[in-house]
Amino acid sequence: MIQSHLNQDTQELTISIGERFDYSIHKAFRDAYRDVKTPRTNIAINLSSTKYIDSSALGMLLIAKEHAENINGVVTLVRPSETALRILKLANFDQLFKVV
């Protein structure tokens, strides 16, 4: 399950991912950010509830990063769970993304 919220004041889109971040939510994930085209809009992906991340989810993060960079924004991975952080570090995504 995905929830998203665009804060017009800060130009930040927050996307919250549920327990599983896998291919089954790829359309909902893409739909959450694809219409964001305002320059310098940043995307915060909240992974605090995420217990499972598969390789397709890692690919989806890279595509979201590319989208954000095309509008001069950045993607930040917010409060990843212990499990999510371990997976991100194994894939060296902590080197590609800001993790807070």
Confidence band, pLDDT 50/70/90 cuts, at residue 93: very high
| Residue-wise burial string across 49-80, b where 16 or more C-beta atoms lie within 10 A, e elsewhere | bbeebeeebbebbeebbebbeebebebbbbeb
Does position 1 have pLDDT exceeding 90, yes or no?
no
What's the pLDDT at 66?
A: 98
pTM, two decimals, is: 0.95
What's the pLDDT at 12?
A: 97
* Residue 41, both tokens: 């809009």
What's the pLDDT at 73?
A: 97
Confidence band, pLDDT 50/70/90 cuts, at residue 13: very high
**Among residues of the chain, what percentage have pLDDT more than 90?**
98
Classify domain 2-99 at the CATH superfamily level: STAS domain (3.30.750.24)
